[in-house]
Amino acid sequence: MTHLRAGLDDLPDHVDLVVVGLGITGAGVALDAATRGLTTLAVDAHDLAFGTSRWSSKLVHGGLRYLAHGQVGVAHESAVERGILMEVTAPHLTRPLPMLVPLMSSVSRFQAGLTRLGLRAGDALRISAHTGAETLPAPRRVSATEALRMAPALRRDGLRGGLLSWDGQLEDDARLVTTVARTAASYGAHVRTRARVTAATGTRVDLRDELTGVTRTVTARAVVNATGVWAGDLAADITLRPSRGTHLVLRADTLPGLTVAVTAPVPGETNRFALVLPQPDGTVYVGLTDEPVDGPLPDVPEPSEAEIGFLLDVVAAAFARPLRREDVIGAFAGLRPLLDAGPGRTSDLSREHAVLTGPTGLVTVVGGKLTTYRRMAQDAVDTAVAHGDLSAGRCVTATTPLLGAAPRDELARLELPARLVRRYGTDAALVLATARRTGLGDDELLAPVSDRVPVTLAELVFGVTHEGAVDVDDLLDRRTRVGLVPVDRAAAEPLARRALELASQLV
């Protein structure tokens, strides 16, 4: 996998298309361009998924929220893209997530009726996008007993039942980015981390190797700026108005027995909710906030204590057990790359994506979300192809499975470690085969760091050999997500160091 690595060594002087940024949008552009037969260079100043793409709620949204705002086109596009991800391109990295709206005393019968109508509209969206009911079942009302079976820690007093619906959940957002980037590299794209673009026009980029300081220029027929909240640094004509969204991380046993996501109403507000999202690794995320951000953008945004307190209060109102600050084992924040659409609250700004061509021909693609990355990439490459007068095949990403993808029943039949199948699909076999080349036995390669930390040496080694990780941070914060919980990260660090050492002997 020499196509995916750090630095600027052995790059061509000229390619058809350069894409700047390796979040989900840039990785998607690289895959789209490479599968159309274009010679492609994709670079990130830091690492794959270094920016917003690793701080999301990790949902594959059907677009219900847009419907509520009358944005029918965006809602339909979301539902279509959700279906493509879940049924064609990434069944291995997505799963159906049951979501429960508990009908508590604070939710009036009128509000419950409206929510039920909304969920039915969401199901109509699913049908219009041709996503099967076996992938995402239709919504239904459940009794209080059933609601408590799915979420035993809910407050019981005044609970008169719940509304159950289904949406998509990602195994992990950074894993999606990594897999898209690796797939792009498998189609021949040059994918480079630690490669900062210091200046860009529509036909050239000036690059700096962040490991060695070496600089160079690559020319291209088209250049796409996919740098998310940093887009304005390369395209002075673009203004973003980022907003910060924060999530808490709790241990699963803080809210025992939770098998569904819970949509918890924000006390005192009629149409605002927080999501309580069980994760596959023994944690639960609680999110999210929407705070305008002013001033210089940090590389890694920090949640504020006020946001943490707000989210704890929402959970406390819906669940029986009072939550304490000590229950919060981690917290993370991301910046939404929202285009400045004039005055208004950031939460009302359009979540739609935009493709904008600047005065030098630099194509910027911004906005949108993880769910719609494929469509964003298609639109950006269409624009770049037209502008650069490139001859390219048609877009094929809606029918091109990501590496490791297979139908769900096939994945279920694989006789390989369940965690590896969940995170790599059919490539679990390659992960294991690569790790075995170290000469270590499976007991050691597949042993979790601890009871609470399921990360294994096998996946860390693969992160280095096949996924371009060059240091402990890449491995713990982006190839795996153990870094979301500082105490777990510290426990996993020795294993990450060992993986780097073992992998260096394999290449």
Ligand X SMILES: Cc1cc2nc3c(=O)[nH]c(=O)nc-3n(C[C@H](O)[C@H](O)[C@H](O)COP(=O)(O)OP(=O)(O)OC[C@H]3O[C@@H](n4cnc5c(N)ncnc54)[C@H](O)[C@@H]3O)c2cc1C
Which residues in this chain contact ligand X in the complex, by CB under 6 A? 20-26, 43-46, 50-53, 55-59, 61, 196-197, 226-230, 233-234, 245, 288, 334-337, 368-371
The CB-of-414 to ligand X minimum distance in angstroms stands at 27
Which tokens is 474 given?
A: 């890449």
Closer CB to ligand X, 375 or 419, in the complex = 375
The CB-of-102 to ligand X minimum distance in angstroms stands at 21
Q: Let me know: does 336 contact 55? Beta carbons within 8 Å.
A: no
Closer CB to ligand X, 118 or 228, in the complex = 228
Closer CB to ligand X, 380 or 453, in the complex = 380
Closer CB to ligand X, 142 or 181, in the complex = 181
The CB-of-386 to ligand X minimum distance in angstroms stands at 21
Stretch (H or E) spanning 197: strand 195-200
What span, in angstroms and rounded, lies between the C-alpha atoms of 260 and 262? 6
What span, in angstroms and rounded, lies between the C-alpha atoms of 458 and 402? 21
DSSP one-letter code for 137: P
CB atoms within 10 A of CB 236: 9
* Beta-ladder partners of 225: 20, 364
**Pick from 56, 58, 72, 57: which is nearest to 122 by CA?**
72
The CB-of-48 to ligand X minimum distance in angstroms stands at 7
Closer CB to ligand X, 284 or 502, in the complex = 284
- At 351, the amino acid letter reads R
Closer CB to ligand X, 146 or 290, in the complex = 290
* Beta-ladder partners of 156: none
The CB-of-208 to ligand X minimum distance in angstroms stands at 9
The CB-of-496 to ligand X minimum distance in angstroms stands at 20
What span, in angstroms and rounded, lies between the C-alpha atoms of 354 and 371? 15
Closer CB to ligand X, 122 or 417, in the complex = 122
What span, in angstroms and rounded, lies between the C-alpha atoms of 481 and 173? 10
Closer CB to ligand X, 277 or 499, in the complex = 277
Instruction: Kindly report the length of the chain.
Output: 507
The CB-of-377 to ligand X minimum distance in angstroms stands at 10
Closer CB to ligand X, 58 or 479, in the complex = 58
**Pick from 36, 4, 89: which is nearest to 381 by CA?**
36
Closer CB to ligand X, 89 or 438, in the complex = 89
Q: Let me know: does 449 contact 490? Beta carbons within 8 Å.
A: no
Q: Let me know: does 95 contact 171? Beta carbons within 8 Å.
A: yes
The CB-of-220 to ligand X minimum distance in angstroms stands at 14
**DSSP characters over 285-350:** EEE---EE--SSPPSS----HHHHHHHHHHHHHHBSSPP-GGG--EEEEEEE--B--SSS-GGGS-
**DSSP characters over 208-219:** EETTT--EEEEE
The CB-of-288 to ligand X minimum distance in angstroms stands at 5
Q: Let me know: does 247 contact 288? Beta carbons within 8 Å.
A: yes
The CB-of-243 to ligand X minimum distance in angstroms stands at 7
